[in-house]
Amino acid sequence: MSGSLIVPLADDMMNTKNMTIEDLIESTDLGNVIVFASICGIEPEYGWYYDACTKCAGRITIVAGRMFCPRCKQSRNVVPRFKLHVQVMDTTGSTSFILFDRNVSNYVGRSVQDLIDAQGQGDNSLGYPADLEVLVGKKMLFKVDITNGNLLHNWRNYGVKRTSDDAELIQMFIKKHNVKVIEDDDEAAAIDVHVTQEVALAKEVPTIEGGDSNMIKSLEGPAIEGDDSNKSLVNQQDGELTPCSKVGGKRSADQDVSDVAIVAEVGERSINKPVKLKSVKIEKNP
C-alpha cells in the first residue's frame, strides 16, 4: 500500500503534541504540533496568493516566456492559490503563521479567483480583499510544521497544515491540555502592550545590514493541507523581525513553502509595524 494515511481532523488535533507559542518559538525539535491561538491580524506585505501548478501546487515560474513548474520539470497550467501570512497570539506571546488554500477558503467561502475578480470593483486600501478579514479575531487550533528553517535559521514564520475553529473540539482540547485562554479585551490589551514594549526594546539593539542570505530546503505545497511532504529552495534574509511577534532571540523569514524556483525570491522582509495600544486598567494593592 502506498501513500500516507489521512488522520481524522479531530483525532489529529487531540492526539498530536500541543505547544504554546512560547514553546513553539523555543522548540529545538522538528515535527508537527498543535497550537491554540487567535488570529490578530493579516500581513499584507507578503501578498495573499501565488500562482500554483495545477498538478502539484508548487510555485510556477516563467522560463523563456512559458509557465514552468520546477517540481514537475515541465510546462504547466497555472491556478491562483491562497498563501496568507497572519499574526497569531496566545497568552504566552505571538508569531506569524502561513495559511494555504483550504485553510483559508474553508472560512472565507470564496476562491482566490473570485476575490481577484472582485478586487477590481471594490476598496483595495487594505492591500488584500476585505473578505479575508473574517479570519481576524478567530480562535483556532493550528497544526503547525516546525522545519529546519525555524531551528537552524531562527525563522519566525510557521507553515500551517490543518486548522479547526470547531467550538466543541476547541473546548475538548482546552480541557485535555489545561490551556489558558484570553478571556476578554483587557487581557488581550495587556499582551498587546507587552509585545509593543518588547519590539521597542529590540529596535534599540544594533543590527547588521545587508547580511548574506541562506538557501535551505523546507516542507511545502500539498503537505500544508495534510498531504505528502515536498521540498523547496527558500531564501532567508538575516536580522528580520516578524510583526506582532514576541521578541525571543529568533529571526523571521518569508518561509515560502510553495516556492521551488531555482532562484528564490529575494527582498521580502518582515516589517516592524506599530501595534495598536488599548487602555489597560491597573489596580494597585492597598
Backbone angles phi, psi at 135, to 5 degrees: -80, -30
Q: How many residues does the chain have?
A: 286
- List the domains of the chain with CATH numbers: 9-50+82-176 (2.40.50.140)
Give the model's pLDDT for residue 279: 43
Kindly indicate the confidence band of residue 252, based on its pLDDT and cuts at 50, 70 and 90: very low
Facing residues of 62 across strands? Answer: 67
Q: What's the whole-number mean pLDDT along residues 121-141?
A: 87
Give the model's pLDDT for residue 114: 92
In this structure, what DSSP letter does residue 11 have? H
What value, to the nearest 5°, has the Cα angle with vertex 283 and ends 278 and 286? 170
Q: What's the whole-number mean pLDDT along residues 165-190?
A: 81
Q: What residue type is 189 in one-letter code?
A: A
Q: What is the pTM of this model?
A: 0.67
**Residue 151: exposure state from Cβ atoms within 10 A (0-12, 13-18, ≥19):** middle
Kindly indicate the confidence band of residue 234, based on its pLDDT and cuts at 50, 70 and 90: very low
Neighbouring CB atoms inside 10 A of 86's CB total: 25
259-281 pLDDT tens trace: 333 223 323 333 333 434 444 44
Give the model's pLDDT for residue 270: 36
Tell me the CA distances in angstroms from 84 to 144, 202, 209, one per residue in order: 14, 26, 27
Q: What's the whole-number mean pLDDT along residues 36-63?
A: 93
Supply 260's cell numbers. 521551488
Neighbouring CB atoms inside 10 A of 240's CB total: 21
Strand 31-42, strand 214-219: pairing: unpaired
Give the model's pLDDT for residue 224: 43
Q: What's the whole-number mean pLDDT along residues 127-156?
A: 94
Q: How far apart are alpha carbons 179 and 173 in whole angstroms?
A: 8
